[in-house]
Amino acid sequence: MAQQNWGTLAVHGAEPRKKAFDAVTTPIVASATYAFENSEEIARYFMGDLDREEYGRYGNPTVRAAEGKLAALEGAEDAALFGSGMAAVTTALFALLKAGEHVILTSDGYRRTRQFVTVILAKLGIEHTLVDPGDEKALFKALRPGKTKILIGESPTNPYLRVADLAIFAKARDTCPGANLLIDATFATPINQRPLEIGADLVLHSCTKYLGGHNDLLAGSLAGRRGLVEMIKDLRGVLGAVLDPQSAFLLIRGLKTLPLRVRRQNETALAVARFLETHPRVRQVFYPGLESHPDHQLAKRTMRGFGGVVSFRVDGDAQLTSRVIDGCKLATIAPSLGATETLIEQPALMSFFDKTTEERLAMGIYDDLVRLSVGLEEAEDVIADLRQALDGAK
């Protein structure tokens, strides 16, 4: 769909014109169980002749409406919602893997996904290989035809905003019959990039971030081919990692403003990144919209926007970096990203607090690293806040 039509798709995609009770918005169906008229209706339902709900762990009308809108935005045949992003990725991996098989994932991805693969799945006899997101040779060398069953990429990555060449990942997947390509596109959103169009089998989002967009819900999603998504949904019904209807309602609300919010955050983040590159107290800036970023040309070629997260290193030690963050008056110190408020954090203290400096450095996390997620405030106000915090830190 053309860029100018995304707003229409976000508002109306997959929604029936006439809704229950003549409501304009999708109603919240707060029911855990659903009644049948008679035994014949039960039989017709289990034979597949009726499209309706049975029990809350297997489906909910509000959740289904949100799944339909997500599928429309991704250009997917189907989508599945979960109680969190981690519930989505873990359910998918449990559904797609068994002992003796092999996973490839990028080293600069979400920490908890790496932990699940390298620790939990390893205990179950599932092997893995970590590769640098930009190392094509390492990616192809890691492939084990017959054993490699899933490739996991993230683009852009957290926290250095590396951009993966999804076409190369798809080409690597094609050399392993039966393998699937799963892309975590949380930082990109369907507005900036749609991985399914480039060859991914599944696209993952932590809907807690941009898709919800208001710091008030916890959810995760997978979108892709219908048969693949249905298989994962079946396991979701067993594991119980379902989304509640209230959160689904909030997600639908967030999706309707997603194109507007992402375009604004793209613009603000680029302005902030350019400012930070000129500040004498900033050692390095990581943002794919900057010419200095190693993946800038790839991002220009494959993305519609560069996202709302900017990472940078303060020219100082951990204590000075903390003072810069503490000096912010507009940016809120908090984990997460992608919402209406600008959020700032020091990953060494927030996400990797349980590691020593040496352990963090081995993972590529510097004590002076800052991750900034811009909100919907005016760009000049965000810049002014960062300037006074950087100038004032002693």
Catalytic residue among 78, 108, 165, 184: 184
What are the tens digits of pLDDT across the range 125-178? 999 999 987 889 999 999 999 999 999 999 999 999 999 999 999 999 999 999
User: Among residues 19, 44, 45, 57, which one is catalytic?
Assistant: 57
CA–CA dist 3, 270 (Å, integer): 19
Q: Single out the residue in 201, 227, 256 at which a domain terminates.
A: 256
pLDDT at residue 2 in the model: 45
Does residue 297 sit in the same domain as residue 352? yes
Among the three residues 256, 280, 314, which one is the final residue of a domain in this structure?
Answer: 256
Give me the catalytic one of 149, 209, 236, 371: 209
CATH, residue 267: 3.90.1150.10
Mean pLDDT computed over every residue of the chain: 94
144 as an active site residue: the answer is no
- Specify which residues 182 forms β-bridges with: 152, 202
DSSP state of 55: B
347-to-215, 251, 356, 370 alpha-carbon distances in Å: 19, 27, 12, 7
Q: Is 45 a catalytic residue?
A: no
What is the domain extent for residue 280?
Answer: 260-392
Q: Which pLDDT does position 352 carry in this prediction? A: 65
Residues 54 and 187 in one domain: yes
Catalytic residue of the set 108, 110, 236, 256: 110
- If asked whether residues 325 and 230 sit together in one domain, one would say no
Pairing outcome for strands 343-345 and 369-373: antiparallel
Residues 60 and 87 in one domain: yes
- Among this protein's residues, is 123 annotated catalytic? no
pTM for this predicted structure: 0.94
Q: How far is 286 from 379, CA to CA, in rounded Å?
A: 18
pLDDT tens per residue across span 220-239? 999 999 999 999 999 999 99
Which residue pairs from 352-361 have beta carbons closer than 8 angstroms and sit at least 24 positions apart in sequence?
A: 352/111, 357/318
Same domain for 13 and 69, yes or no, is yes
242 lies in the same domain as 275: no
pLDDT band for position 17 (cuts 50, 70, 90):
confident
Q: Among 256, 276, 309, which residue terminates a domain?
A: 256
Length of the chain: 394
Query: Both 308 and 352 in a single domain?
Result: yes
304 is catalytic: no
Measuring CA to CA, how many Å separate 69 from each of 50, 190, 371? 21, 12, 30
Helix (H, G, I), strand (E, B) or coil at 152: strand
Number of structural domains in the chain? 2
